[in-house]
């Protein structure tokens, strides 16, 4: 049986929107390190990505920025403006055009957006610097 980790509820991510979280992931060699992720939504479909721009490896929200375009159609890196599809994470414009965000499988369970079988630490990692200062509280539960 898979272990599910609830990130947030589905209604906490607006249609055409994205939310950033910083989890704490265990390393195979021991210890744990912050793991920034994004959850996006298109209609009733939800998509997860590592919050790491394929251009320079920084968080898309590194520069105090909004990671969505004004109309909520795509993700935008605040560093140099690369644009990514909300559902595929594919970069269609900008300095890393043709590359893609690393996808994370999400499971929707009874209204919760969950990660499955990811080795997370008990600490949620929310104590690291967050330029947008909008990282929500993360609740981790397991089935």
The residues binding ligand FES (CB under 6 A) are: 53, 55-56, 58, 77, 79-80, 82, 94-95
In the bound complex, what is the minimum distance in angstroms from residue 4's beta carbon to ligand FES?
31
- Cα-Cα end-to-end distance for the chain: 9
Of the two residues 63 and 73, which places its CB atom closer to ligand FES in the complex? 63
Which is closer to ligand FES, CB of 2 or CB of 63? 63
d(CA 29, CA 49) in angstroms, rounded, equals: 23
Map residue 41 onto helix, strand or coil. Answer: strand
CB of 76 to ligand FES, least distance (A): 9
Rounded-to-integer distance, Cα 46 and Cα 126, Å: 22
* Beta carbon nearer to ligand FES, 52 or 107: 52
Instruction: Report the distance separating Cα 61 and Cα 81, nearest Å.
Output: 11
Least Cβ distance, residue 77 to ligand FES (angstroms) = 3
What's the min distance (Å) between Cβ of 66 and ligand FES?
14
Exposed/middle/buried for residue 26 (C-beta within 10 Å: 0-12, 13-18, 19+) = middle
Indicate the residue among 4 and 82 with the shorter CB distance to ligand FES.
82
């Amino acid at each position: 049986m898979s272990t599910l980790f609830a990130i947030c509820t589905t209604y906490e991510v607006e249609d055409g929107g994205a939310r950033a979280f910083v989890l704490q992931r265990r390393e195979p060699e021991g210890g744990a390190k912050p793991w920034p992720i994004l959850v996006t939504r298109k209609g009733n479909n939800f998509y997860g990505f590592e919050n790491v721009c394929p251009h320079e490896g920084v968080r898309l929200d590194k520069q105090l920025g909004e990671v969505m375009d004004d109309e909520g159609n795509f993700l935008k890196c605040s560093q140099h403006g690369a644009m990514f599809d909300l559902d595929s994470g594919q970069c269609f414009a900008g300095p890393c055009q043709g590359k893609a965000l690393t996808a994370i499988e999400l499971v929707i369970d009874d209204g919760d957006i969950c990660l499955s079988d990811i080795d997370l630490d008990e600490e949620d990692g929310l104590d690291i610097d967050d330029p947008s200062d909008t990282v929500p509280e993360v609740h981790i539960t397991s089935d």
